[in-house]
Chain A
Amino acid sequence: MSVISHFKKSYATTAALLQKEPRIYLPFLIFAFIEALSLIFMYLAPREPLRAAMGPFITTLWGERFLHYPQNFWLLPKLAGLAKMTLSVFIGSLLTGVAIAFLYKKPIATAFHKYANLMIIVLILTAVYYTMNKAIGVFLMKYFNAGHAKLLFIGPRWWLGLFSIVISQFLALVLQALVAYAIPIMLTSEKKFIGAIAGSFVFFFRNFIITLLLVGIPMLIAVPLIFLNYNGVFLMTTFCPEIILWLGILGIIVNSLILDPIITLTTATFYLENRVVKP
């Protein structure tokens, strides 16, 4: 079967399963709701009474000015991002496991019993992505601060601007593709997180192109949103500071309600249909 055929089949099968069992989508709805709640919490952090709890934390890490209007909106995307990372590790991992358990017609308890390993997989993915992203950012800053005018004939404005975002998205694509099958493997075998990640690597390299397509093509949906977030300051000064909050909500709808379900479910479906089952 060609790559395109596999791609179409994964989508068709996933759509059919979702139609038959809509509860598969429920974990993503729950995660989106929790994420929205956390976004609103971060937005209201400078207000009483939440300011009493969040104020010292924000002041220590980023400065007192981010407790004032409208500077709090400059920090909001960063706070929301950190919150999402934390929620993904502790709650998203479990909910993803539950969604795939529903997809595979396994009992919900399967995901709960494997919660620790699910959490570790997401933690490793998040930690590696965050560390590599930060390392690249620090390298670029140090390189240009040391006085170099260009890197590969390109100046700092491009590297620290648009290219940083492209590198970040490429990193997300590669890392997600590498561990895309770890949770499906864990739910269909007795493997722990190390075995599941290793199995995912093997399956990824055996199905390299189709995996990149299943993960990468949906990610293109987020490109307009990335562009809008990149121009956040311009949008704030042109329209109103609250636009950053609306972008955050749009981000939750696009990422948690569209992107994540598509990537998670289509890769899980592809794995189920193409895994090699040992007799």
Chain B
Amino acid sequence: MTFQKPFLLLLLGILVAGCGQDQYAIERQYYRVQQQAKNIFTNPDATPPNELATTVDALNEFMLKYPTSNIAVESQFTIAQLYVVTKAYDKAHEQLKKIKSAFDKVDVIGAEAVFMRGAAYEDEKNWAAALEQYQAVIKSYPITPKGMETPYYIAMHYKSKLQPDKMMEALREAIDHYKALTAQYPGTPLALRAQALIAQCFVELKEPENAISVLQAAAEAFKGKVPTDGMFLDIATIYYAQLKAADKAVAVLEKVIQGGPKTQAGEIARRMIQKIKEEKK
């Protein structure tokens, strides 16, 4: 009968599927190990030392079993995070140094490891050592995602500690750094990201006009190359929230709707206009 062959093939596929050590099987094993780690993250202070040791061993075993899997790197970072939450900072730094040297040729991983060392020092309330690590990220890995966000992160740290002078100084340094990156890599997604960060810095410095002009310049430079609706939505938000210029905000939002009435950005713009009109009443 004609349906016998496809049916048998289907049965064979079902029987064979799930037998091998494919990516899914690796992810399933990692999930189970992660659940062990989750218990420690939930209540690190109440974690008995042997539970931490067992979980770390399980994560290391996973790394040894699947060294080339992309999840293997994550398992090593999880060990570092476990040491940080259980306040075993020396072990955390050791682990992160190990990750950095093991993945020396992969900038993204190196940047994550060094940044995490900074975060661990912050947890230890050692800002000087943390800043040293963050500056190493900026210097050694400037074009990685972590490298890009670190200058802004440093400024926000000072903001959270209610140190406005240091915050403003850090923001100015961040702006200079991002401008240098924009000049070095013009017309690239990196330059676009850098300009978005410059605008964020100007907003924090309470210089909304500068933020708007940076966003407008970026939107013009990348017109037709990337979707720029997000930048116009940011411009409208700055007009409304910072400059209290509701009419200008609405004008920008109406342009977004005109550009794409049925897009997600168009929908957001419509809702923002409605909200502005309601608040005006």
Question: Using a CB–CB distance below 8 Å, which chain A residues touch chain B?
Answer: 37, 40-41, 44, 46-51, 53, 67-70, 72, 145, 147, 241
Q: Please state if B14 and A50 are interface contacts (CB–CB under 8 Å).
A: yes
Asked whether B13 is an interface residue with its Cβ less than 8 Å from the other chain, the reply is yes
Query: Smallest distance from the beta carbon of B131 to chain A beta carbons, Å?
Result: 36
- Across the interface, name the chain A residue whose C-beta is closest to B12: A49
Inter-chain contacts of B28 with A (CB < 8 A)? 69-70
Asked whether B18 is an interface residue with its Cβ less than 8 Å from the other chain, the reply is yes
8 contacting pairs across A/B (C-beta < 8 A): A41-B14, A47-B25, A50-B14, A68-B23, A69-B24, A69-B27, A70-B31, A72-B24
Total interface residues on B, CB under 8 Å, equals 18
Question: Using a CB–CB distance below 8 Å, which chain B residues touch chain A?
Answer: 10-11, 13-14, 16-18, 20, 22-25, 27-28, 31, 267, 271, 274
Task: Report the bound CA distance from A241 to B34 in whole Å.
Answer: 13
Given contacts A37-B14, A40-B14, contact A47 B24 (CB under 8 A): yes
Inter-chain contacts of A44 with B (CB < 8 A)? 14, 17-18
Task: Report the bound CA distance from A270 to B23 in whole Å.
Answer: 54
Q: Please state if A49 and B31 are interface contacts (CB–CB under 8 Å).
A: no
Total CB contacts across the A-B interface at under 8 A: 45
Q: Which of B10, B17, B31 contacts A47 (CB 8 A)?
A: B17
Is chain B's binding surface mostly helix, strand, loop or mixed?
helix
Inter-chain contacts of B25 with A (CB < 8 A)? 47
Q: Which of B17, B23, B24, B274 contacts A49 (CB 8 A)?
A: B17
Inter-chain contacts of B24 with A (CB < 8 A)? 46-47, 51, 67-69, 72
Q: Which of A37, A46, A49, A53 contacts B16 (CB 8 A)?
A: A49
Query: Smallest distance from the beta carbon of A254 to chain B beta carbons, Å?
Result: 23
Given contacts A37-B14, A40-B14, A147-B274, contact A47 B22 (CB under 8 A): yes
Task: Report the bound CA distance from A40 to B16 in whole Å.
Answer: 12
Task: Report the bound CA distance from A67 to B26 in whole Å.
Answer: 13
Given contacts A41-B10, A70-B31, contact A47 B271 (CB under 8 A): no
Task: Report the bound CA distance from A47 to B27 in whole Å.
Answer: 11
- Across the interface, name the chain A residue whose C-beta is closest to B271: A147
Inter-chain contacts of A46 with B (CB < 8 A)? 24
- Across the interface, name the chain B residue whose C-beta is closest to A68: B27
- Given A44-B17, A47-B18, A70-B31; 11 other pairs, CB 8 A cutoff: A41-B13, A41-B14, A46-B24, A47-B25, A49-B13, A49-B17, A51-B22, A69-B24, A69-B27, A145-B271, A147-B271
- Across the interface, name the chain B residue whose C-beta is closest to A45: B17
Q: Please state if A69 and B31 are interface contacts (CB–CB under 8 Å).
A: yes
Inter-chain contacts of A67 with B (CB < 8 A)? 24
Inter-chain contacts of B23 with A (CB < 8 A)? 68
Query: Smallest distance from the beta carbon of A126 to chain B beta carbons, Å?
Result: 22
Task: Report the bound CA distance from A141 to B31 in whole Å.
Answer: 34
| Most chain B C-beta atoms within 10 Å of own C-beta, residue among A37, A41, A47, A72 | A47
The 10 closest A-B pairs by CB, nearest first: A69-B27, A44-B17, A47-B17, A69-B28, A48-B22, A50-B17, A46-B24, A47-B18, A47-B24, A44-B18
Q: Which of B11, B20, B31 contacts A48 (CB 8 A)?
A: B20
Task: Report the bound CA distance from A72 to B17 in whole Å.
Answer: 15
Task: Report the bound CA distance from A174 to B81 in whole Å.
Answer: 55
Query: Smallest distance from the beta carbon of A276 to chain B beta carbons, Å?
Result: 41
